[in-house]
Amino acid sequence: MKKAIVMDQKDNVATLLTDVDKDDVVEVRVGEKVTEVKVREKIQFGHKFAMERINKGQNVMKYGEVIGQATQDISKGYHVHIHNVESFRGRGDLA
């Protein structure tokens, strides 16, 4: 079984612990709870996917913190990365 981890219970993304292909079922650990999510596209190890629908303009949560904002709707199981998230981290142009 492919695996992913959620860093904090407030997170709406999970981080993959292996490469996955479209329609792979991934076991996700959130603290002591384990759930399964079908990913909807090929995604590389270390990248994130949506654990729930994330609407355009909604905050993307990882580590229990806001890491960015969705620039488009992201359905559950889809890749969450620079193509659909505006990052708030490491930017010198934001106060």
Mean pLDDT of 2-31: 95
Is this model's pTM higher than 0.85 or not? yes
pLDDT at 94: 61
> 60, 67 in Cβ contact below 8 A?
yes
pLDDT at 21: 98
Taking Cα atoms as reference points, which of 50, 23, 79 lies closest to residue 2?
Answer: 23
Looking at per-residue pLDDT, the higher value among 18 and 33 belongs to 18
Token look-up 């505006």 returns 86
Structural domains of the chain in order of their starting residue, each with its CATH number: 2-87 (2.30.130.110)
pLDDT at 88: 73
**25-30 and 2-6 strand pairing:** parallel
pLDDT at 8: 95
| pLDDT greater than 90 at residue 51 | yes
Token reading at 54? 């994330």
> 56, 72 in Cβ contact below 8 A?
yes
> 52, 6 in Cβ contact below 8 A?
no
Mean pLDDT of 66-79: 97
